[in-house]
């Protein structure tokens, strides 16, 4: 099996800003990530990814947050109250579409059991989803309360597993196998204040993979395995994809270690969705493209003219996180024998080398 590598390992990390030590959402202080991967038999390829900021993992905890909806074809539970009050009060859970509702109930169970919440009578669980029904038996709704609780309770700081894990176990994007991806950027705001922006994505959307301006079409990268367009993808058995199995949707979670209010965080979230275009998203009509941004530092909001570096960091980190979700995912066989091939990294590097000008080739990368 070909060793999977991140965009940075391949010398293809986008942008110019430096990453954090882990190049992950967990570079943002006080943010943990937990995942449960479900691979059962030939038909279950799904899971749970939980983003757990310390500030909401206690009774009465909230964080300022903003939401941007690029296209609303999705089931983002808790969205309206998030927008109305400009805050999150629970961890954020990601999973497959038809398991989102059970995940929300499990998240409520978790919050009710927290010490100090004995009198809690209302709570706004935030659960995002993408449809992994091509590779997983989505109607089985295999995610249980125990799975969700395990992801939340197992959330840790440190490196984040990427690729076909957690909520990305059965997802696909841009004609290839995708999954969970993460990245971060470190910047200094005007005046010198340091800021870390971390991103995690659940990638499951359509379009043509684009890496630094080079388009990687499945019909060229995988001759005989995948035809042009995700809807016409062929499984190894030669069976065409069933109607309605086209890749769709992307959930983007952005953490910012700076004092931003909900309106400013909505502006950050908007840029996060914009960054999908850099990787080749076609923002198709059936796609649910959402970004939630939250801030972990309290205080007076930074001035508006200080947000430029945060915007740039969010866009670079989202682009790299999406690439990581693809480059680190492995070819997966799932429901009804459907197969989604991983991006062939050798072909990818050769294609990028062929289109890069000498001035664009980073030293030491082989490009």
Q: Where along the chain do its domains lie?
A: 25-353
Alpha-carbon span 176 to 340, nearest angstrom: 6
Is 287 an annotated catalytic residue? Answer: yes
Q: For position 361, what pLDDT does the model report? A: 47
Across the chain, which has 367 residues, the per-10-residue mean pLDDT values are 88 97 98 98 98 98 98 97 98 98 98 97 98 97 98 98 98 97 97 96 97 94 54 37 60 98 98 98 94 96 96 98 98 96 96 76 45
Per annotation, catalytic residue among 57, 147, 257, 289? 289
Is 42 an annotated catalytic residue? Answer: no
CATH topology of domain 25-353: 3.60.70
Q: For position 248, what pLDDT does the model report? A: 81
Is 249 an annotated catalytic residue? Answer: yes
Alpha-carbon span 167 to 154, nearest angstrom: 15
Q: For position 357, what pLDDT does the model report? A: 60
List of residues 6+ apart from 237 with CB closer than 8 A: 337, 339
Per annotation, catalytic residue among 6, 99, 287, 325? 287
In what helix (H) or strand (E) does residue 151 lie, and over which residues does it extend? helix 145-153
Q: For position 212, what pLDDT does the model report? A: 95
Per annotation, catalytic residue among 136, 249, 281, 325? 249
User: Residue 59 in contact with residue 93, Cβ under 8 Å?
Assistant: no
**Measuring CA to CA, how many Å separate 161 from each of 39, 167, 173, 198, 250?**
16, 11, 18, 15, 18
Q: For position 62, what pLDDT does the model report? A: 98
Backbone φ, ψ for residue 293 (5° rounding): -120, 135
Residue 354 CB burial class (10 angstroms; 0-12, 13-18, ≥19): exposed
User: Residue 131 in contact with residue 138, Cβ under 8 Å?
Assistant: yes
């Amino acid at each position: 099996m070909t060793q999977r590598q991140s965009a940075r390992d391949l010398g293809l990390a986008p942008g110019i800003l430096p990453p954090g030590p882990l190049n992950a959402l967990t570079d943002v202080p006080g943010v943990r990530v937990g995942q449960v991967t479900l691979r059962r038999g030939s038909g279950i390829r799904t899971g749970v990814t939980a983003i757990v900021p310390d500030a909401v993992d206690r009774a009465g905890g909230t964080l300022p947050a903003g939401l941007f909806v690029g296209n609303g074809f999705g089931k983002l539970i808790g969205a309206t109250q998030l927008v109305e009050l400009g805050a999150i009060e629970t961890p954020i859970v990601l999973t497959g579409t038809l398991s989102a509702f059970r995940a929300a109930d499990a998240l409520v169970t978790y919050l009710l059991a927290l010490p100090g919440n004995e009198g809690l009578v209302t709570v706004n669980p935030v659960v995002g989803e993408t449809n992994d029904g091509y590779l997983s038996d989505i109607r089985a709704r295999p995610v249980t309360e125990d799975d969700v609780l395990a992801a939340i309770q197992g959330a840790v700081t440190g490196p984040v597993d990427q690729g076909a894990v957690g909520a990305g176990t059965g997802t696909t994007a841009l004609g290839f196998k995708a999954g969970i991806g993460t990245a971060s950027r470190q910047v200094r705001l005007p005046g010198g204040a340091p800021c870390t922006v971390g991103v995690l994505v659940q990638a499951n959307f359509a379009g043509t993979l684009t890496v630094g301006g080079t388009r990687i079409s499945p019909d060229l990268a995988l001759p005989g395995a995948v035809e042009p367009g995700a809807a016409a993808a062929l499984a190894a058995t030669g069976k065409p994809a069933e109607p309605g199995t086209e890749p769709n949707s992307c959930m983007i979670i952005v953490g910012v270690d700076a004092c931003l209010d909900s309106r400013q965080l909505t502006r950050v979230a908007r840029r996060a969705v914009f960054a999908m275009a850099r990787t080749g998203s076609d923002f198709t009509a059936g796609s649910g493209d959402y970004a939630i941004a939250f801030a972990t530092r309290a205080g007076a909001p930074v001035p508006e003219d200080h947000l430029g570096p945060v915007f740039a960091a969010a866009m670079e980190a989202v682009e790299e996180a999406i690439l990581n979700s693809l480059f680190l995912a492995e070819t997966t066989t799932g429901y009804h024998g459907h197969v989604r091939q991983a991006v062939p990294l050798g072909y990818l590097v050769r294609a990028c080398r062929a289109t890069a000008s000498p001035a664009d080739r980073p030293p030491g990368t082989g490009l």
